């Protein structure tokens, strides 16, 4: 993903993404269980940010402030 002629990539922090892309068009946050086999061993906070760029929608998923996936929706 590109913002301001810079590449947005997995591993960046939410602060870095906001600095380059601005605030997302929408944002959701939820707690998810962390599992080891069938056992729940903790929780993590997952945020999904949506950026609409022309006819392309990009969904960025953060796990505790680190970008873990970028998905394109058309």
CATH number of the domain that residue 9 is part of: 3.30.1450.10
Could you tell me the residue range of the domain that residue 30 belongs to? 2-73
- pLDDT value at 54 more than 90: no
- pLDDT value at 58 more than 80: yes
Q: Which residues of 43-59 are buried (b: 16+ CB within 10 A; e: fewer)?
A: eeeebbbebeeeeeebb
Residue 74: what pLDDT? 75
* Tens-digit pLDDT profile for residues 2-43: 888 999 999 999 999 999 999 999 999 999 999 999 999 999
Q: Report the C-alpha gap between 61 and 66 in whole angstroms.
A: 8
Residue 7: what pLDDT? 94
**41 within 8 A of 18, measured Cβ to Cβ:** no
Residue 17: count other Cβ atoms within 10 Å of its Cβ: 22
The arithmetic mean of pLDDT across residues 58-65, rounded, is 95
Number of structural domains (the chain) is 1
Residue 59: what pLDDT? 97
């Amino acid at each position: 993903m590109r913002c301001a002629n810079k590449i947005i990539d997995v591993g960046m922090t939410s602060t870095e993404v906001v600095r380059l892309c601005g605030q997302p068009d929408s944002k959701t946050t939820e707690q998810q269980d962390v599992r080891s086999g069938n056992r729940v061993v903790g929780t993590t906070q997952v945020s999904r940010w949506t950026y609409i760029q022309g006819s392309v929608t990009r969904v960025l998923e953060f796990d505790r402030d680190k970008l873990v996936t970028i998905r394109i929706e058309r």
